Chains A and B, each alone.
Chain A
Amino acid sequence: MLALSLLLALGAAGCGGDDGGDEAGTEASEGVDEGAEPGGTFRTQTDAFEWTGNFDPTGEYLATFLGLYQNLLGRTLMGYNHVPDAEGNELIPDLAEAEPEISEDGLTYTFTLREGVMWGPPLDRAVTAQDVEYAFRRIATPALVAQYGFYYLGVIKGLQEYSDAGGLTEDPEGETPIEGITVQDERTIQFDLEAPTGDFLYRIAMPAAGPIPEEVAKCFLTAGEYGRFVISSGPYMIEGSDQLDITSCDTMQAISGFNPNQRLILERNPNYDPETDTPEARENFFDRFEMTLNTNAQDIFDRVRQGQLELAYASEPSEVVREYSTNADLEDRYQINSGDRTWYITMNLTQPPFDDIHVRKAANWIMDKEGLRRAWGGEPKGLIANHIVPDTMFNNNLEDYAPYATEGDAGNLEEAQNEMRQSKYDTDQDGMCDAPQCKGVLHVTRTTDVWANMAPIIEESFAKIGIELNTRQFEDSYTIIQTVKRQVPVSSTPGWGKDYADASTFMVLFDSRSILPEGNVNYSLVGLTPETAQELGATGTVEGITSVDDAIDSCNELMDEERLDCWQELDQQLMEEIVPWVPYLQGNADFVISDAVSKYVFDQASGDPAWAHLAIDQDLQQ
């Protein structure tokens, strides 16, 4: 599930439907429904746009995008109803008119597209199977950096080979067909898989697998470019889409309603036919949607309080959490849902001193996790994380599993030093990292408030075992840590939410086959081989890194309880034998809304507000 967690303590209550809310110190929100009426403009602000693929559905891997795209902009063959809890993780046919036909051997999926689903302006034509097929060609085009291409490459027959040949080029004549994707007619598409893949339908529900119109996208064969030309197949479109001149590639100017660093303005798509959709999935109350940038998070919350905004899409400052948590009048304006999301500190296995497992274990022992949670705003922000996959996704089976548990989650110096003594970087075995590599270790983090608050706590924790961090804050910190050549030793930037309701979507973070030179999400480089390192330009300790690829493959072949057990074992193996992370928070999804929000629903699948179900009372707007 959802990739790069934005600044919010978003989350999604989990797979398997266990909301886990009470244990997080919060109660799962029931939402708000005070009589929804259509119309109006839904206004929200964020304190940082952190797109990872510039809004291009092929490459974008930010949770924010997933929610916006699936709710408002794009139709995928399979989708969700955008509701909370277990129901929100259930797949429904979206662009497909029904569940696909699946062959008995589980290798062939045949989808039939709904009639009447149209591309928005300026295309004004029906969405076809060819559009879906073209999306997969984009996924398999290395230059477009499909950040979760690993869900499809090597899974759909021939897709990896198509990618190896270079994918899309400016000369369509020279391209080869993809063996495993057959467009039978304009409304029928068939996928042939290399092996049975139990979660293939979830993968199909991801935005990158949704249709993309070739006549527009063919002009943008560099990563992220298409993000400013996204054509809608959903109920809304980017403002100004109808002004796009698609006569030729040269005549196309970026759609005015989207600037990746400033704003996203949506308006109704005139070609959207509600008859092709269901109100359970999308109610589409508001007429217009505005998400703009305001780097002053406090101001965002002030504006929500004053009714100038309907929702704050930013991490709540501590006093806002306190205010909304302790003031009964504001309680129903603070929406908290449990999250399938883990916030963590990633350590690069190739970079000293983190190329030593004892240092990584010492980092887990020493980290003041409760301190970090306070930096987020305290208990309402989630549970302390002691392992990788959120408890809710394991039906709380690993709830008591805490290999580095410390009193009060404040860190344990003695245990940390015991571990450090076994490290080659502790030359005098005094429990302190004293080699030159322990000084000035680059620590990359974000610029936003929560991360700024966490920095001193992380620095001080590491300093207790002799590791001096050189903390640098970057607005594009995700991009930096996703670029292998940057060789960032440690970063507190990332969080990870489910892409869909299966623990496998966390384990992709440790699959060596998912390592990319750019847009890489295996930040720790688990499973990196010297050969791959050479290809990627990675240096450091690139030999002897343990791989869990086989374990991942083994788990992926299993179903139900066996599958769950397998992922649980792998989680424990990672935490004890590889130790790529210091997980510290199982984040909640909490949002502050204004009095003008007459209907609030949480979208479990994306971990964001269910934009397609939100409504406003225009009389209460300022």
Chain B
Amino acid sequence: MATVAPEIHEAGPPAEPETDVVGLSPRQLFWARFKQDKAAVAGLVIIIVLIVLALAAPLIAKLVGHGPNDLFQREMTDSFGVPKGPNADFWFGADQAGRDVFVRAIYGARTSLIVGLVATGIAVFFGTIVGILAGYFGGKIDTAISRTIDVVLSMPILLFAIGIVAACGTTGCLNGLIEPGLTLVIFVIALFSWPYIARIVRGNTLSIREKEFIEASRSLGAGNTRIMFREVLPNLVAPIVVYSTLLIPTNILFEAALSFLGLGVPQRTPSWGGMLSDATQYFRFAWWLMFFPGIFLILTTLSFNLLGDGLRDALDPRSNR
């Protein structure tokens, strides 16, 4: 006869009804915190709208019937060449060449976002690797990298950028590797952006490398490369994401500054900085030339900053604003 183990009931008071405790994944925790930050959510929404607009720029141009470089000078400037303001066909008015400011502003979003995202991406990629190497190995490698970062950060960045763009802006540099135009602008911005990420990554790596799980990993025979990229790097995602988000608006403004100075993207490529530059001679009587690209630029940078702040709070609740 088979024996059956008796059920064991511990003696004690009757159990209270269980409260409905639900475990949250880190992602859910992040989202729960993030969505409480209304400003950050608003920033995210605006960024999404901008990205959609940028992606749909050709479609919008087609719908409006005006390309970014189509000239409507006869219709949209007077006989003295003074541009005309917003109307039913040109919602944001026209510039001095009779180009549709609305369409150019939308195309300008493309330029700003491409430059901002790509330059930041390059800076993050390079800065992360350099920062991890410095923080993980320490010693001479750290000293060399840290001093290099110090040197780059001590440079008058805008002046250097102007110099490089001016020097390479005609025929390119490095045997054609760096071509004039958008590529050059992205290269220059990335060149001066990586130290910010590198410094943050280095600092965090210095802290993480002392953790027990790193020691455990090493004792299990993991090599440096594995530890850096499989153990340390995942723990750097939060600060990298936060600071990348904050770096994007800086780089967008950097591009706008270069374009404002006539050293950014080629003139046929609409950019907010270039539009603002063109507007300077007309702003007193053609407010729309400065207002619309200015609003776009402000909204974009503000949105990225709000998003960055929100991400920081959500990813690292211990941090103080």
Contact = CB atoms under 8 A, between A and B. Distances in A.
Interface of A: 297-298, 317-319, 321-322, 325, 368, 371, 373-380, 410, 440, 442, 447, 449, 452-453, 455-457, 459-460, 463, 468-473
B281 A449 contact: yes
B81 A374 contact: yes
Contacts of A378: 78-81
Contacts of A377: 80-81
Nearest to B97: A456
Contact of A317 (B70, B268, B281): B281
A453 B80 contact: no
Contacts of B267: 455-456, 459, 471
A275 B77 CA distance: 54
B282 A375 contact: no
A348 to B, nearest CB: 15
Contacts of B78: 322, 378
Of A297, A317, A375, A449, most B-chain CB atoms within 10 Å: A317
Given A460-B69, A460-B71, A318 B266 contact: no
Interface string B172-189: 000000001100000000
A376 B71 contact: no
Contacts of A456: 69, 71, 97, 99, 267-268
A321 B70 CA distance: 25
16 contacts: A297-B281, A318-B77, A318-B282, A319-B80, A319-B284, A322-B80, A322-B82, A371-B71, A375-B81, A378-B79, A378-B80, A453-B81, A456-B69, A459-B268, A460-B71, A463-B268
Given A298-B281, A463-B69, A471-B266, A457 B79 contact: no
B284 A457 contact: no
B97 A453 contact: yes
Of B69, B81, B169, B266, most A-chain CB atoms within 10 Å: B81
B285 interface: yes
Contacts of B73: 368, 371, 374, 457
A136 B99 CA distance: 52
Contacts of A455: 267
A374 B80 contact: yes
Of A374, A455, A463, A470, most B-chain CB atoms within 10 Å: A374
A580 to B, nearest CB: 22
Nearest to A454: B97
A495 B177 CA distance: 36
Contacts, number: 87
Interface in B138-155: none
Interface residues of B, number: 28
B262 A473 contact: yes
Overall SS of chain A's interface: helix
B97 A457 contact: yes
A183 to B, nearest CB: 48
Interface of B: 69-71, 73-74, 77-82, 96-97, 99, 169-171, 180-181, 262, 266-268, 278, 281-282, 284-285
Contacts of B69: 456, 459-460, 463
Overall SS of chain B's interface: loop
Contacts of B180: 440, 470
Contacts of B278: 452
A376 B282 CA distance: 14
B81 A376 contact: yes
Given A298-B281, A374-B73, A459-B69, A470 B266 contact: yes
A442 B262 contact: no
A325 to B, nearest CB: 7
A460 B267 CA distance: 11
Contacts of A449: 281
A325 B282 CA distance: 18
A382 B70 CA distance: 26
Contacts of B70: 460
A317 B77 CA distance: 13
Contacts of A375: 81, 96-97
Nearest to B283: A298
Contacts of A380: 80
A317 to B, nearest CB: 5
Given A297-B281, A375-B96, A460-B71, 20 more contacts: A317-B282, A318-B82, A318-B282, A319-B80, A322-B82, A325-B80, A368-B71, A368-B73, A374-B73, A374-B77, A375-B97, A377-B81, A378-B79, A379-B79, A442-B171, A452-B262, A455-B267, A456-B71, A459-B268, A460-B70
A374 B78 CA distance: 8
A274 to B, nearest CB: 43
A374 B79 contact: yes
Nearest to B268: A459
Nearest 10 interchain pairs by C-beta: A374-B81, A322-B80, A456-B97, A318-B81, A378-B80, A318-B82, A449-B281, A318-B80, A378-B79, A471-B267
Nearest to B77: A374
Nearest to A445: B267
A244 to B, nearest CB: 34
B284 A298 contact: yes
A299 to B, nearest CB: 11
B96 A318 contact: yes
Contacts of A374: 73, 77, 79-81
Nearest to A440: B180
Contacts of B97: 371, 375, 453, 456-457, 460
A373 B81 CA distance: 8
Contacts of B71: 368, 371, 456-457, 460
Nearest to B180: A470
Nearest to A318: B81
B37 to A, nearest CB: 42
A317 B78 CA distance: 13
A319 B82 contact: yes
A52 to B, nearest CB: 20
A322 B96 CA distance: 14
A297 B81 CA distance: 16
B96 to A, nearest CB: 5
Contacts of B80: 318-319, 321-322, 325, 374, 377-378, 380
A467 B71 CA distance: 17
Contacts of A470: 180-181, 266
A322 B78 CA distance: 9
Nearest to A302: B284
A440 B268 CA distance: 11
Nearest to A378: B80
B138 to A, nearest CB: 46
Nearest to B281: A449
Nearest to A447: B262
A377 B281 CA distance: 13
